[in-house]
């Protein structure tokens, strides 16, 4: 039996306008993280061990936590802050190692799950539902983590604000660790160009038409755009922006905002940096004075 998507009021001119290449970091639908239905699908992706679209596999997370504790010489009860903590995969591992952990994420659904899971596991973790561009902390943390390329999704202006917030939250001499993508990841993944009908999938409950587009810009900026057309013609546009880096460009940006770059890696498990790495793990430090 054939299934048809009915779009009696589809505005073709509006659709064509959305398909035009937007200016870099033009926002799309603002309710991506707070939409109740999408939030549930995001949590499923985070927790699915067979999918690494939202979180890295648990064995890699465990390796990362072990390596970070060792390379940063973190001690029991040191205070660490995980930005974009999602459902608490890194924070749980950090807390199990005896660290004093705070997790921040914009998704209430993920934070609710993380709080419940910490309670079940007997872990004391301070979770907060917060946009970390609005983070206001006293300088109490020994380390701040921002993993899986979250830093790459922000506009240049937002990155400056984010770095200022992180610097404020760190003790003098505290560490900020992040990872950023490179052009070699983009070359492997490629630009999106696809359309498909979806029923009760990631974007909506019910039937929708999904148009996927990828755009490439100067200065290693990329966009993944998703145009969602609902059964009766409503159009929503979701945009995921990415700023890719080289060691030179991330060093320049980090140092311009008051951090020292201590080392580069090919990941956050301690793999030595290689020239054609898809990721750059960056260990930085706030000045001691």
Percentage with pLDDT > 90 across the chain = 73
Q: Which residue has the higher pLDDT, 33 or 198?
A: 198
Instruction: Quote the pLDDT of residue 234.
Output: 85
The set of residues, in sequence order, having a beta carbon less than 8 Å from that of 95 and lying 6+ positions away, is 101, 118, 123, 124, 125
Using CA atoms, how far apart are residues 164 and 145, in angstroms rounded to an integer?
A: 14
Digit-coded pLDDT (tens) for 212-236: 999 999 999 999 999 999 888 888 9
Digit-coded pLDDT (tens) for 53-84: 666 788 899 999 999 999 999 999 999 999 99
Tell if the pTM clears 0.85, that is, is over it.
yes
Instruction: Quote the pLDDT of residue 50.
Output: 66
Could you give all domains of the chain from N- to C-terminal order, each with its CATH number? 12-30+185-242 (no CATH), 39-182+245-285 (3.40.50.150)
Burial of 147 (0-12, 13-18, 19+ CB in 10 A): buried
Using CA atoms, how far apart are residues 279 and 266, in angstroms rounded to an integer?
A: 6
- Is a pLDDT exceeding 50 seen at residue 205? yes
Percentage with pLDDT > 70 across the chain = 94
Instruction: Quote the pLDDT of residue 1.
Output: 45
Q: In what order do the strands lie in the sheet with 260-265?
A: 125-129, 100-105, 79-83, 141-146, 170-181, 279-285, 260-265
CA dihedral 200, 236, 155, 140 (to 10 degrees): -50
Digit-coded pLDDT (tens) for 109-133: 999 999 999 999 999 999 999 998 9
């Amino acid at each position: 039996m054939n299934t048809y998507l009915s779009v009696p009021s589809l505005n073709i001119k509006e659709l064509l306008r959305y398909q035009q290449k937007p200016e870099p970091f033009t926002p799309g639908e603002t309710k991506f993280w707070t939409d109740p239905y999408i939030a549930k699908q995001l949590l499923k992706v985070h927790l699915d061990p067979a999918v690494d679209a939202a979180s890295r596999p648990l064995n890699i997370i465990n390796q990362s936590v072990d390596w970070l504790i060792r390379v940063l010489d973190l001690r029991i009860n040191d205070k660490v802050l995980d930005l974009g903590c999602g459902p608490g995969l890194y924070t749980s591992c950090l807390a199990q190692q005896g660290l004093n952990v705070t997790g921040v994420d914009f998704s209430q659904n993920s934070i609710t799950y993380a709080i419940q899971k910490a309670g079940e596991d007997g872990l004391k973790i301070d979770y907060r539902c917060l946009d970390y561009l609005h983070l206001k902390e006293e300088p109490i943390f020994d380390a701040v983590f921002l993993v899986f390329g979250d830093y790459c999704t922000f506009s240049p202006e937002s990155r400056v604000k984010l770095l200022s917030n992180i610097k404020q939250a760190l003790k003098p001499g505290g560490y900020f660790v992040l990872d950023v993508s490179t052009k070699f990841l983009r070359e492997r993944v490629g630009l999106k160009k696809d359309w498909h009908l979806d029923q009760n999938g990631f974007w909506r409950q019910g039937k929708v038409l999904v148009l996927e587009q990828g755009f490439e810009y100067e200065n290693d900026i990329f966009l993944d755009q998703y145009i969602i057309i609902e059964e009766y013609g409503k159009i929503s546009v979701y945009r995921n922006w990415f700023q890719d880096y080289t060691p030179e460009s991330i060093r320049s940006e980090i140092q311009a905002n008051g951090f020292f770059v201590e080392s580069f890696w090919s990941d956050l498990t301690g793999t030595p940096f290689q020239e054609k790495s898809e990721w750059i793990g960056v260990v930085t430090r706030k000045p001691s004075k």
